[in-house]
Amino acid sequence: MKIFRAIILSGLAIASSSALAAPAAAHDHACLPQVHDGWVRLGPAGMPMMAGFGRIENHCPAPATIVDASSPAFGSVQIHETRIVDGVNRMRPVPELRIAVDGSAFLQPGGMHLMLMQPRAPLKAGDKVEVRFELAGGGELTGEFEVRKPSAL
């Protein structure tokens, strides 16, 4: 009899803990901006860095701010901005990338781009690379970037 009661109690415990877990699981499905048309420009073999491009759309009810980027395929990832200063093309890191509600961030040749450094393995055209973007306030979004040869554009 005592054992039977213990089983009932543990059954209740499981039921109530899963009820508690529900709001946390819902949070995992919170709205996140999405990467579209992500690609990485394949450079000459042995180049220590590559540039990544694409469009990050925010169709969420709140603005999103990207504060960091990383990739399992690279030792280091930065968001860069290309600017012409005194007639010279210069790149500088973008510390924060804010995307308005229903707005997009455009990463494109000559403008903002991902600087993908220290590839962990040689990449070839057609390979897919994952890039993770960390959001202010905690979330993270993941985008897929396809490696392409510049001539195949």
> 49 vs 67, which CB is nearer to Cu ion?
49
Q: Residue 113 Cβ, how far from Cu ion at the closest point, in Å?
A: 6
Q: Residue 49 Cβ, how far from Cu ion at the closest point, in Å?
A: 7
Contact yes or no for 66/80 (Cβ under 8 A): no
For Cu ion (CB under 5 A), the number of binding residues is 3
The residue within the footprint of Cu ion, chosen from 94, 115, 117, 136 (CB under 5 A), is 115
Residue 41 makes contact with Cu ion by CB under 5 A:
no
The residue within the footprint of Cu ion, chosen from 80, 131, 141, 143 (CB under 5 A), is 80
Residues of this chain, 9-28, that bind Cu ion according to CB under 5 A: none
Contact yes or no for 112/133 (Cβ under 8 A): no
Residues of this chain, 81-100, that bind Cu ion according to CB under 5 A: 91
Phi/psi of residue 23, nearest 5 degrees: -65, -35
> 67 vs 91, which CB is nearer to Cu ion?
91
Q: Residue 115 Cβ, how far from Cu ion at the closest point, in Å?
A: 4
Select the span of 31-39, 62-70, 79-87, 132-140 touching Cu ion (CB under 5 A): 79-87
Binding site for Cu ion (CB under 5 A): 80, 91, 115
